[in-house]
Structure 1
Amino acid sequence: MAYMSMRSPLFPFAIVIALALAPCSYGLNQPTRQSSSLASTSTTLNYHGGPLLSTPGSINIYLVWYGTFPPQEMAPIHDFFASLGSSGGQQKPAVATWWSTILAYKDKAGKPVSGRVRVAAFHEDKTCSLGKNIKRPQIANYVKKMMDTQVFPFDSNGVYLFLTAKDVVVERFCSGSCGFHENMVVSPRGRVVYAHVGDPGTQCPGLCAWPYAIPAYGPPGNPLVSPNGVGIDGMIMNIATILAGAATNPFKTGYFQGNALAPLEAVTACPGIFGPGAYPGYPGELIVDKLTKASYNAYGANGKKFLLPAIWDLKGLNCKALA
């Protein structure tokens, strides 16, 4: 399932529509203070009775690094996954604290979404075997081939995540979309979840890496300083959004609002909210590193700092943000 986010200053109410991924651009960071949007939303995510990624143990991530990713770009993404479900030794607020909000999402048997996420395997395709202009069905076929050739195992509680480098063009990416998650039947074994997130650093930073980049059209303002690089931090925000949606609505029968083909999900129900006091064009109160001036709201493994989007809290019935 893909996500489309209207997080642009031209859409001040930031209604997330259908098939695209947030956190896309929601406007510019502005210093003036207004009432918080955390309590003003009337969103309700209904449960539609289907399975979640709730198998005991962990949600297993199978990464495809498609294109050239230098080690310094891969490391923050690996550290983000390493931070999920394991808060030992981390400063607060931790990435695991962010994921803990997802644990309130339970299936019809009362089993919560898996509390741990880990990278189970990864594959590097530096030669871009599909070329550098890819259609979405090609991603599904690629993932299926990874299973057919036993590069990856079949895993019904996994997410097969196709990550593309900054010079790879994917259908609909940067055209209102920052990525997507979908599912497919891998006969006769069953159904799996696959997803795509691209590096928006050069293609569409204002759309898919806000508030670390300025949208092409909107009010004047300055972007925030990113802790890991604009493109990579944009990818991590979008991976977080995709992961939350895939875990709570993997097969279009889980938690969402609206049409199953155009849903609001756990994170896309909270567009543009990253910290307390957020409102359209202002991401909320964040932590600012005194030395680097980078803004973030979560601490992760190996000293990494991340900016993670708010999640719809089923207990508080509001958008729950860190920091």
Structure 2
Amino acid sequence: MASSLPKQPLLLFISSLFLLLLFSPLALGSPRGGGGGRPARLTYHGGPLLTGNIKLGLVWYGPTGRIQKSVIRSFIKSLNYRGPRGAYIEPQVSAWWRVVESYQPRRRGMVPPIGVRVVRQVTDKFYSVGKVLTVDFIPGLVQKATGGDKSIIPVIFAARGVTVQGLCMGKCSLHGLSGGQPYIVVGDPETECPGTCAWPFYPSDYGPKGVTLRPPSGNVGADAMVISFASALAGIVTDPYNNGFYGGSIFDPTEAGTACPNVFGSGAFPGYTGKVRVDPATGGAFNVRGARGKKFLLPAVYNPLTSSCWTPL
């Protein structure tokens, strides 16, 4: 993992980091709700971004199903996958990822690629710290995910029935800092607030109910977790230390992955995802394809070049 940092006084950066560690390490999240409308403008606050090659360490916390692991790993592999082009192939997951990459400064007129790969996986099948994950338990799980390697970004995927502090309060995933180490936590919405975090595969608890879609993999938990993880990944790359790109207050920021909630395609409005495709064989809704033809429904991401929501379709 590398980082890109515009020239700033070192003292200012250290002071900013101290304040961030002083306050909530679970400060940033991916909310669901709303949909449509123009997003608030994101501002660059001078801090480093994640660039270069990003190494992920995954912790499957609790007995996580084979399908969920497979779908999430396929999504990660698809971020840098450049498959054949064609009317029935485009758009690809990598097109979504290129928008996230575009937050970096250009080099010789080009946006450098950001490689993402999984280098470590740990299964904590028996809930080593219980079924309620609070901020006090995060450092231990971060250590499990990284094995002490600070260059690895830890990602904690909570299994069904695990309650995560800070989730189900308008947020479906979180990224924060533990001892200066950026990390991500993603909840499984099948039993925890499905009406907030499993939409559009489950009826919404708020606003217009709209049409419930079938998940592209056939597994609600797996595809809903991909949506939440994608939002958090976009956020941690563009705002890893709470001083990168965000809008609003530092205590309740809007980020690249959360600026366009419940938007999955053009023409979205509350209760309607926007334009998506439907697999005629399975009935699953999707808007991108990945490696080996896998299909995913990915959330809109904030495009810094146009100050608008970017959607695959």
Fold conserved between structures, TM > 0.5: yes
Q: Is the 8 A contact 2:28 2:176 kept in 1?
A: no
Query: Measured at CA, do residues 89 and 66 of structure 1 come closer, stay the same or move farther in structure 2, by a change above 3 Å?
Result: farther
Q: Where do residues 197-236 of structure 1 align in structure 2 (5 Å cutoff)?
A: 197-228=186-217, 229-236=219-226
2:209 & 2:49 partners in 1: Cα distance?
Answer: 42
Q: Is the 8 A contact 2:122 2:144 kept in 1?
A: no
Q: Is the 8 A contact 2:234 2:256 kept in 1?
A: yes
Q: Is the 8 A contact 2:302 2:310 kept in 1?
A: yes
Q: Which amino acid aligns with 2:160?
A: K
Query: Measured at CA, do residues 53 and 77 of structure 1 come closer, stay the same or move farther in structure 2, by a change above 3 Å?
Result: same
Alignment match, 1:320: 310
Q: Which amino acid aligns with 1:300?
A: G
Alignment match, 1:78: 73
Shift of 1:256: 0.5
Q: Is the 8 A contact 2:263 2:274 kept in 1?
A: yes
Shift of 1:45: 0.9
Alignment match, 2:165: 171
Q: Is the 8 A contact 1:214 1:223 kept in 2?
A: yes
Q: Any stretches of 5+ residues in structure 1 without a counterpart?
A: 2-17, 28-36, 186-190
- TM-score norm. by structure 1 comes to 0.81
- TM-score norm. by structure 2 comes to 0.83
Task: Kindly tell me the number of residue pairs found equivalent between the two proteins.
Answer: 283
Q: Any stretches of 5+ residues in structure 2 without a counterpart?
A: 1-19, 21-26
* Runs of 4+ off more than 4 Å: 107-114
Shift of 1:250: 0.2
- Between structures 1 and 2, the one with greater helix share: 2
- Between structures 1 and 2, the one with greater strand share: 2
- For residues 87-140 of structure 1, the C-alpha deviation after alignment (integer angstroms, 9 at most, x for no partner) is 234721110010001122125999967522111211111111111122123113
Query: Measured at CA, do residues 108 and 89 of structure 1 come closer, stay the same or move farther in structure 2, by a change above 3 Å?
Result: closer
Q: CA RMSD in A?
A: 2.3
Alignment match, 2:124: 125
2:237 corresponds to 1:247: yes
Query: Measured at CA, do residues 123 and 89 of structure 1 come closer, stay the same or move farther in structure 2, by a change above 3 Å?
Result: farther
Q: Where do residues 4-83 of structure 1 align in structure 2 (5 Å cutoff)?
A: 19-22=28-31, 24-26=32-34, 37=36, 40-41=37-38, 43-54=40-51, 56=52, 58-83=53-78
Alignment match, 2:177: 183
Alignment match, 2:282: 292
2:107 & 2:210 partners in 1: Cα distance?
Answer: 48
Alignment match, 1:93: 91
Q: Pick from 104, 107, 111: which aligns with 1:106?
A: 104
State the identity as a percent: 37
Query: Measured at CA, do residues 102 and 160 of structure 1 come closer, stay the same or move farther in structure 2, by a change above 3 Å?
Result: same
Task: Give the SS at the match of 2:254.
Answer: coil
Query: Measured at CA, do residues 231 and 145 of structure 1 come closer, stay the same or move farther in structure 2, by a change above 3 Å?
Result: closer
Q: Which amino acid aligns with 2:116?
A: V
